Amino acid sequence: MAVTIFGDKSLDLSRPQIMGILNVTPDSFFDGGSFSNLDDALFQTQKMLSEGASIIDVGGESTRPGASAVSLEEEMNRVIPVVAAIKSRFDVVVSLDTSSAQIMTEGAKQGAGLINDVRALTRDGALDAAIATGLPVCLMHMQGNPESMQANPNYSAVYNEVLSFLLERAKACQALGMKSEQILLDPGIGFGKTLEHNLELLNNLDQILSHGFEVLIGASRKSMIGQVLNAEVQDRVFGTLGAHAAAFAKGASIFRVHDVKPHYDMLELMYRIKREK
């Protein structure tokens, strides 16, 4: 058993765990802190939990390609009430999808159990704030920034560059006292990467594992699925399952997904076959 402590809950990362995506950005279904939106977030949470998610990833900043920046105040108003509401009603790990030190600090006070930073704690104060929470972190690789990252993704060797960045960020966390079990690494599918880059990273995920960190993967409905299948975003569920099944076979333990039920069924079969019981 590889049990990792996520705030007030523990999860066994020797079996696959599903992180359900809860967007609280206006370009999804959300546009502020009104009651109906909070209600909607709780409804989505309840549904994802009943379908088999063990982590809910709450994000108030859109990091989709080309998205524009959100002010700290706006991010705070979107994210913190949702974290508090979920933790007061459900026994679940809440993940903070944020790069802001202040959101990490406030979110942890409201009971969040994981910091998921697509900027791998590179923003001012983020590393110290994350360390101070005592929570595990997911460090993700991105080339460039969301505004421009898909303009011209460029690597001399994508796999080596992503891995050395992630290991360097992990080292920075460990230098401040974080344990390796508290560090999850993520190659950042779609973040400044072409289709070929994404395919190569997924096919080499096992090499990240060989450094002793758990791996989180998030290919859900992303454009790499659309490019392979020539499918619009609503028609990418089965393709996503294929990408995530490959990631499981390479050793990934946490799957960041929109469609929880199909992932629960797929991962349960893959895991039971691997265990042979």
Q: How far is the CB of 10 from ligand 8Y4 (least distance, A)?
A: 20
List active site positions: 222, 256
Q: How far is the CB of 121 from ligand 8Y4 (least distance, A)?
A: 12
Burial class (CB in 10 A: 0-12, 13-18, 19+), 4: buried
Our CB check for ligand 8Y4 shows the closer of 112 and 189 to be: 189
Contact 205, 185 (CB under 8 A): no
Q: Determine the Cα–Cα distance for residues 107 and 81; give it in Å rounded to an integer.
A: 9
Q: How far is the CB of 277 from ligand 8Y4 (least distance, A)?
A: 31
Q: How far is the CB of 188 from ligand 8Y4 (least distance, A)?
A: 6
Our CB check for ligand 8Y4 shows the closer of 62 and 102 to be: 62
Listed in sequence order, the residues at least 6 apart from 56 whose beta carbon sits closer than 8 Å to its beta carbon are 19, 20, 22, 45, 48, 49, 86, 90, 92, 93, 94, 95
Our CB check for ligand 8Y4 shows the closer of 9 and 64 to be: 64
CA–chain centroid gap for 22, Å, is: 11
Listed in sequence order, the residues at least 6 apart from 251 whose beta carbon sits closer than 8 Å to its beta carbon are 205, 206, 209, 215
Our CB check for ligand 8Y4 shows the closer of 207 and 227 to be: 227
Q: In this chain, which residue has its C-beta nearest to ligand 8Y4?
A: 218
Q: Determine the Cα–Cα distance for residues 97 and 102; give it in Å rounded to an integer.
A: 12
- At 116, list the tokens: 């998921």
DSSP 110-123: TT--EEEETTTT-S
Our CB check for ligand 8Y4 shows the closer of 142 and 266 to be: 142
Please report, as ranges, the residues that interact with ligand 8Y4 according to CB under 6 A. Answer: 59, 63-64, 97, 116, 118, 138, 140, 186, 188-189, 216, 218, 221-222, 233, 256
Contact 174, 180 (CB under 8 A): yes
Contact 121, 97 (CB under 8 A): no
The residue among 114, 53, 52, 44 whose CA lies nearest residue 85 is 44
Q: How far is the CB of 38 from ligand 8Y4 (least distance, A)?
A: 21
Our CB check for ligand 8Y4 shows the closer of 131 and 237 to be: 237
Q: How far is the CB of 190 from ligand 8Y4 (least distance, A)?
A: 6
